[in-house]
Amino acid sequence: MIRALGLALALAIALAATAQAGILAPEDAAELAQSLAEAQEEQGVCYAWSIANNFSDTPDVGSSTAGPDRPLPGTSSEGLRLPETCTKGIVQLEGKIDYACDSCEAEDSASVSITSNLPNPPTVADLEELGLKADALTGDKDDTTLLNMVNALPLLVADRGIAPYVPYEPAATVPATDHATGKPASDFLRESGVWLLVFAVVLLSGPAFYLYKRWQ
Amino acid sequence: MNRYAIFAIAMVAVGVFGLIATLATHRSVREDIAKNYRSIGSQAPPGPAAEGRKRTQIYASSKSVSQTAEDIGDKHKPADRRTTEAGAFLRYRDDVVSVIPPPAGSTGSRILVDDEEGGYHRNYGYVGGFWGTYSGPAGSFRGGGPGTAK
């Protein structure tokens, strides 16, 4: 019940926004804040994200304590302080996305960092080991990458033994109309396609080389 | 036989050997997990019953959730992945690998290997909208932002 009310509140706040800022859709930001709020309740650690960009007036921000579009209280210009609700500490993903202009030679770029007052907090290297790299914030799946990065923070905190894991909850019911789509291509080709290509080229190069030398 | 013919034959041999080795040594992620992790059981797959559905296989890992997901993902590059506060989910053509926290009082992590439909049903709250259709509160497609990269 509390979870449903929280989700409804977060969605209402998000949908009240008149325009999308940054890369996250308002509904995605609201869901993200809600999942972080549940992690905070479980772990006693507050979570937040703040990703600046050069293409809109407002950055992607949100937190487990204040919801979407609102930074973690006390973190704006005074460094990290410990709100009373964050009994163990704070973890915030910060970053910047720079889109180069269409006519510029420069490439789009992005960087992230993790700010925290926890002992032995998660690092950007931890995110990268999970396949979450800052460069992907300039790609087609920029929003999914940001969601994965922020969602991963409570998992990494638990992995380091700082707080308990957020319990995994398998879906009890799924609407009959919902199902997986976009079946991926062959695993074998994705994993070994490069090697197949390399050895095929080597194999074909032999006869080609011989015929070329005979023709000369 | 001249030296050009010998060189050409050597290249063909390397190519053939490489192709055979690549084909012969490949294992699916399902087979690899079964070989490298301790099985602790199986259960009926979530979702609608249908012919050809595979049972969910359950394994235990002594490593943390993120480390186990990294190990599996490094060896078998997933087509898609979703990392959440409660687990890491790797999507393959026919399989979904869920790496989740261990039961209370245990250490390490649990690995669930489902078929595609089972993985989507089991993890609907985490991957719904990302890997398929979704009727949840955030709309049909979660993670559906603008994608304004150059």
Per residue in B3-32, pLDDT (tens digit) is: 889 999 999 999 999 999 999 988 999 999
pLDDT value at residue B51? 79
- Does A180 contact B4 at a Cβ distance shorter than 8 Å? no
pLDDT tens track for A124-180: 999 999 999 999 999 989 999 999 999 999 999 999 999 999 999 999 889 988 989
Suggest the residue from A24, A168, A215 to mutate for an interface test with chain B (most B CBs closer than 10 A): A168
Q: Of chain B residues 110-139, which have a CB less than 8 A from chain A?
A: 116-117, 119-125, 128, 130-135, 137-139
pLDDT value at residue B52? 82
CA pair distance A109, A125, nearest whole angstrom: 18
- Evaluate if residue B149 carries a pLDDT over 60: no
Do B148 and A110 touch, CB atoms closer than 8 A?
no
Q: Of chain A residues 33-92, which have a CB less than 8 A from chain B?
A: 35-36, 38-39, 55
- Evaluate if residue A19 carries a pLDDT over 90: no
Mean pLDDT taken over chain B = 89
pLDDT value at residue B48? 81
- Evaluate if residue A106 carries a pLDDT over 90: no
- Does B134 contact A178 at a Cβ distance shorter than 8 Å? yes
pLDDT value at residue B47? 82
CA pair distance A115, A33, nearest whole angstrom: 18
- Evaluate if residue B93 carries a pLDDT over 50: yes
Of A171, A188, A210, which is closest to B121 when you measure between CB atoms?
A: A171
Question: Could you tell me where the DSSP H helices lie in chain A?
Answer: 2-16, 26-43, 124-129, 142-159, 187-215
| d(CA B28, nearest CA chain A) in Å | 8
